[in-house]
Structure 1
Amino acid sequence: MTNPLLQDWDTPFQIAPFDRISDDDFLPAFEAALTAHKDEIAAIADNPEPPTFANTIEAMEAAGKLLDRVLGTFFTVAGADSTETREALQREFSPRLAAHSAEITGNKVLFQRIETLWQERDALGLGDEQARVLMLTRRGFVRAGAALDGVEAERMTEIKSRLAVLGTEFTQNLLADEREWYLELSDPDLEGLPAYLVVAAREAGREKGLAGPVLTTSRSLATPFLQSSPRRDLRETVWRAFTSRGGRGGQTDNRAIAAEILALRKERAALLGYDDFAHYKLETEMAGTPQAVRDLLMAVWSPARAQALADAAILENMLHEDGFTGPLEPWDWHYYAARRRQAEHDLDEAQLKPYLQLDRMIEAAFTCANRLFGLEFSPLDIPLYHPDCRAWEVTRDGRHMAIFIGDYFARGSKRSGAWCSAMRGQAKFPHDQAPVVINVCNFAKGDPALLGYDDARTLFHEFGHALHQMLSNVTYESISGTSVARDFVELPSQLYEHWLEVPEVLREFATHVETGEPMPAEMLDKVLEAANFDQGFQTVEYVASALVDLEFHSGPPPADPMQKQSEILEEIGMPRAIAMRHATPHFAHVFSGDGYSSGYYSYMWSEVMDADAFQAFREAGDAFDAATAKALENNILSTGGSVEAAELYERFRGRLPGVEALLKGRGLIAA
């Protein structure tokens, strides 16, 4: 019991004692916690008493807490601060966890207890939340293959284990490519780059032990470079490095892995009686069917493509005016779009960034949460897993609500992208449990750190997910926080982005890094006017990725995903100067796990709602209207997965929205 992961944590708010945990602790803690959970499940299944909600469903809810604690700690550090040891542990843990899950759902005695309760549900006197948990538990078992027998059951277990291995390999290959590639910049290469980007590039060089500035494939470095460098040859080099992640050949190539994942998913769906994986996956989402998703995406694709082609013609003319012949290339788009934005809106990212300090944007996100929901944030001085991390206690009216951890800077040990996770979820059973929530981003480091406008939106987006966890107020952890339909989970995050665009928020928190002066009114107006600039490009690169994901999982699996990707893009008329936001070899949303497989469309499905949801505040005449904020919390943010997503939204707005609000919000049709 000297292993800190297995001891009671006497730390503030029972946060993981990161300063006492070493990599050597994870495997023995995992072994012990896995064994403990197996014993708990066996005790439930073998209980001689007739099944009741308490001795079966609630007993399952209470089981596995030690394993949750160990894994919550491990996967937090493995994703945000990887080491070779942690990567090896991930490769070992993933298939064993998949097998463990399959063993639970394949336990016929346990499933029979759940099935008995399901058949007798009307006579059990269950409350609404209890009935919901029973339904979701049974549905989860059935969809995991609990009703399968013999060879089919064995094959399902094999498939899940193999998918877990492949998902881990996909993630680690991508991280390796991102960690290994960099481009050293000489003084002439810095021509045209804004000062903040040079500072960030020098910081990236220092992290790699180099004396000069470097570019990596971190989006916070690559995108500003593509926007500002007049060197077309270097832009092409950086663009090709960024878009080839996971597909450069050798041991880290993900293309064969993607093909195998798609084939196994199709087989998994077939074992359960579905036509394909998309039909299986979407059955429990708001969309319901692949055709509903396809209809939404194509309704957006047509006006977005038309806008992108019109924009491309303008940008190509600018390219030719610079003396270049031939067509506009993907590595040209950001550069000429930035110049066009400056010309049309007199808005330069280099002029804007000094007003978007990371610390001030964090403060803005906190203040909006305070004005909307009464939350207060107090800094905590506690050991965390990396020196870059910061922590706050979240309270309301003096009551402890959550712990929030922010890990904002890019580094070689962190996987790309941005995400929110809960090291501990909210629950009232078997005892009150406040969440520990973490936001992880990949912003370029600086002193002080400055954000691009898209970075600031990302910060608000991830904090919207965090609020979904912090404000959760349900009984059972299995339905708390973000445990909702995949195409509903992005609603709170995308909705919260709107508060960054509230003029009074920018006036208060967008202050100059050197003078402390607020953003000039003229610049503020330009920022808001340019909010929809380049929406054709942004919508096309996203929708193309979502359509490829959907078609990959519809019908027979492609033997060659890259060829299938090309065929899909050709069929929809992908503009040649725009690439998918996530090409197959680095499409981690889809191939690192099942989370967003057949579900990358979810961001757009949620955007249909978020555009309409923020309209409720506009109709109230105040972005911080107390009654609307309370309705948002009561009907969406606090309810987790305790009610069907469509019903929750209808409770908030009285109806479900159409796609028109999204198209107007993106400026793709007239408002």
Structure 2
Amino acid sequence: MQILNQKFNTVHDTAPFSQIKTADYLPAFETAIKKTKAEIQTIIDSNEPPTFENTVEAMAYSGMELDRIANIFFNLHSAETTDELDKIAQEIAPKLSELANDINLNTALFTRVKAVFENKDHLSLSREQSILLEKSYRGFVRNGALLEESKKETLRNIDAKLSILKLQFGENVLAETNAYQLHITQEEDLAGVPEGTIEAARHLAESCGKEGWIFTLDYPSYLPFVTYADSRELRKEISIAAGRKAFQANEHNNEQHVLQIAQLRFQRAQLLGYQTHAHFVLEERMAQTPEKVQIFLQDLLRKAKPAAQREFDELSTFAKQLHQLEKLEKWDGAYYSEKLKQEKFSLDDELLKPYFELSRVLHGAFRVADKLFDLRFSEVYNIDKYHEEVQTFEVHNAKGALVAILYADFFPRKGKRNGAWMTSFKPQYKKNGLNERPHVSIVCNFTRPTPTKPSLLTFNEVTTLFHEFGHALHGMLADTIYPNLSGTSVFWDFVELPSQIMENWCYEKEALELFARHYQTDEVIPMHLIEKIKASASFLEGMATIRQLGFGLLDMGWHGQDPSEITDLKAFENDVFATTQLYPDVAENAMSPSFSHIFNGGYSSGYYSYKWAEVLDADAFAYFQENGIFDKTVAGKFKDTILSQGGTDHPMTLYKHFRGKEPQVDALLKRAGLLK
């Protein structure tokens, strides 16, 4: 039997990465799929009348071996992929889609679930059991259980196609990211670029056997270059390269993938009786309807647009005064924003970076979690890892009980997609008297240490680390019975609350003094720098807000209508961005072909969630500020009513249990400096 199909004989039942061979995955998946089918068949074949326990609860615990294998495989496919893993992913995705449909479209199984659901008023179910029953029943209906047989077959075909298209989309974006290099051989072309970034570029060039310096589209390389490089021509070159990922005439072009994914999602929604994909998705979100999302986005746009226009005009005037620039282009934005920030606040990311050494920031996040939630993090070296750079931690509570295992993976690599995310290798759940603790992972792409410097973070990277750590806390502090209601298994427009609220501590003196120390002198970050960080927190926030709103509107544009009329992807984007666009359009660039959040990730019809959750997090953090940012009572309430509860109740109910009332948008507008 494959190692993946056995109980892991490892520390805390952690994944035995070093013992897994690439050839193990396919047979392990096939064995686990058979086991899952057998578990479902046992439920169907029961001679007992359907009960909550023998049907709904039994389903919640079915397929756990398969889920575990899928978690390991697909997490590696994102963080440490190879051509072989890509091929396996293409082969396994339709099989997993087919299995999901075999379960969701099984009439006999649905009949049992329906019988329990229709009898629910006569059952003495706990709140969590009631939610599980409701979710199980709705899951069947939303996935086609009420369709006639011919339409079920159509649904299967759509889902199989979507599973492949989404994978291909992601692989194309990664291939395009890896394919580009800006190779510089003249030292004068490096003017303005920070010393640490130059050193990393030289190191990369050496590793490629080349003279000079290499910059890539990986964020730790790309962002400092477009922010600091004085060469406008080179900023333009790398900026256009980033904007045309998967939008070029080559084998990695994603235009047809975008059109097909949008069309198939629309067809699927119509088949299930919904007006659009957005109507289907939003039925299970706090926002509920596309109309409500549009009202939310347009309301914020109305409030942010005047500020954004003022900021853009100020930035344009500043660039003209500084360098006689007649027209501000996209490749100028980060560069002049940084120069203006330095002038206004005497604040330079390069000035801050020495105070944000990666390991100290990570341990700062740990200390914040300890002060809030009584958690102790200790690095351990006896847990297997999928890459030598990954760090592993045991997390204990104040009584010494194990809370979770945390993996941390911080640097860019060839087989790792861009961005930052949290994921899990094993969920929390309770079964047979045991509270199984979760194995959670945070994955980022920060600047690597060099021969002369440790990894020093920009302030933006500091908030990114705290953001992903907030997601991790949601996973680690989970305390539910069923795995499919545990941790981050919540409505998508609620899932960003725990992550976004954690970013707030990065701006507070009390928190910064825990970890922001100069990596050479050990000096605590000076008070005047903390004041500048706070003062600059809403710098160009109007522009940042409408940029995010533009992405949300693009998402709703693809998914909130019939997309069959869209034939020209670029023209469609220009129409959508008309109300949020400040910079002139770049003809060679398009957003959608590399918009992985909505075409490869889980954010389709959900990109608005970032702004939605900002309303929640600003309102929630205001509660902390009223009582003290490390107030144990407020932190305890946040842990008990939100972090530990997962999807065991409606998010607004959970939020009101914490806050005592619904969230108010004013806290966000005030924080963003958008309130008059």
Q: Contact (CA 8 Å) 1:537, 1:578: kept in 2 or not? A: no
Moved over 6 A (4+): 578-582
Closer/same/farther in 2, CA of residues 436 and 579 from structure 1, 3 Å limit: farther
**Runs of 5+ in structure 1 lacking a partner?**
none
Closer/same/farther in 2, CA of residues 383 and 618 from structure 1, 3 Å limit: same
- How far 1:613 moved relative to its partner? 0.1
Q: Which residue does 1:62 correspond to in 2?
A: 61
Distance 1:88 1:370 in 2: 42
Moved more, 185-194 or 51-60: 185-194
Question: Aligned pair 1:188/2:196, yes or no?
Answer: no
Q: Any idea what the Cα deviations from partners look like across 1:63-116, whole Å, max 9, x if unmatched? A: 112111211111121110010001111111111111110111011000000000
Report the secondary structure of 2:310's partner residue. helix
Q: Which residue does 1:561 correspond to in 2?
A: 569
Distance 2:507 2:655 in 1: 23
Q: Contact (CA 8 Å) 1:545, 1:582: kept in 2 or not? A: no
Q: Contact (CA 8 Å) 2:507, 2:530: kept in 1 or not? A: no
Distance 1:60 1:582 in 2: 43
Query: Aligned Cα RMSD in Å?
Result: 1.6
Matches within 5 A, 1:322-401: 322-381=322-381, 382-396=383-397, 397-401=399-403
Q: Which residue does 1:488 correspond to in 2?
A: 494
Moved more, 112-121 or 514-523: 514-523
Q: Any idea what the Cα deviations from partners look like across 1:562-598, whole Å, max 9, x if unmatched? A: 321111112x2521258999910111110004x2101
Report the secondary structure of 1:428's partner residue. strand
Q: Contact (CA 8 Å) 1:285, 1:486: kept in 2 or not? A: yes
Question: Aligned pair 1:450/2:456, yes or no?
Answer: yes
Tell me the amino acid that sits aligned with residue 611 of structure 1: A
- How far 1:662 moved relative to its partner? 1.3
Distance 1:30 1:582 in 2: 37
Taking structure 1 as the reference length, the TM-score comes to: 0.97
**Runs of 5+ in structure 2 lacking a partner?**
none
Closer/same/farther in 2, CA of residues 325 and 582 from structure 1, 3 Å limit: closer
Tell me the amino acid that sits aligned with residue 411 of structure 2: F
Distance 1:192 1:528 in 2: 26
Q: Which residue does 1:589 correspond to in 2?
A: 597
- How far 1:226 moved relative to its partner? 1.1
- Percent identity over the alignment? 38
Matches within 5 A, 1:532-547: 532-547=538-553
- How far 1:399 moved relative to its partner? 0.3
Question: Aligned pair 1:629/2:632, yes or no?
Answer: no
Q: Which residue does 2:216 correspond to in 1?
A: 216
Distance 1:437 1:269 in 2: 33
Moved more, 635-644 or 25-34: 25-34
Q: Contact (CA 8 Å) 1:541, 1:579: kept in 2 or not? A: no
Question: Aligned pair 1:657/2:663, yes or no?
Answer: yes
Q: Any idea what the Cα deviations from partners look like across 1:140-179, whole Å, max 9, x if unmatched? A: 1110111111211110111111111110000000000011
Q: Contact (CA 8 Å) 1:133, 1:479: kept in 2 or not? A: yes
Report the secondary structure of 1:439's partner residue. strand
Tell me the amino acid that sits aligned with residue 192 of structure 1: G
Q: Which residue does 1:600 correspond to in 2?
A: 607
Q: Contact (CA 8 Å) 2:570, 2:590: kept in 1 or not? A: no
Question: Aligned pair 1:272/2:272, yes or no?
Answer: yes
Question: Aligned pair 1:611/2:612, yes or no?
Answer: no
Q: Contact (CA 8 Å) 1:255, 1:562: kept in 2 or not? A: no
Distance 1:389 1:202 in 2: 24
Tell me the amino acid that sits aligned with residue 354 of structure 2: P
Question: Aligned pair 1:256/2:259, yes or no?
Answer: no
Closer/same/farther in 2, CA of residues 204 and 534 from structure 1, 3 Å limit: farther
Distance 1:582 1:419 in 2: 23
Q: Contact (CA 8 Å) 1:379, 1:391: kept in 2 or not? A: yes
Distance 1:226 1:468 in 2: 34
Q: Which residue does 1:304 correspond to in 2?
A: 304
Closer/same/farther in 2, CA of residues 341 and 264 from structure 1, 3 Å limit: same
Tell me the amino acid that sits aligned with residue 620 of structure 2: A
Matches within 5 A, 1:512-551: 512-551=518-557
Distance 1:451 1:17 in 2: 31
Match of 2:411 among 402, 406, 409: 409
Q: Contact (CA 8 Å) 2:547, 2:580: kept in 1 or not? A: no
Taking structure 2 as the reference length, the TM-score comes to: 0.96
Distance 1:328 1:546 in 2: 24
Q: Contact (CA 8 Å) 2:501, 2:617: kept in 1 or not? A: yes
How many residues were matched structurally?
666
Q: Which residue does 1:441 correspond to in 2?
A: 444
- How far 1:124 moved relative to its partner? 2.1
Q: Which residue does 2:648 correspond to in 1?
A: 642
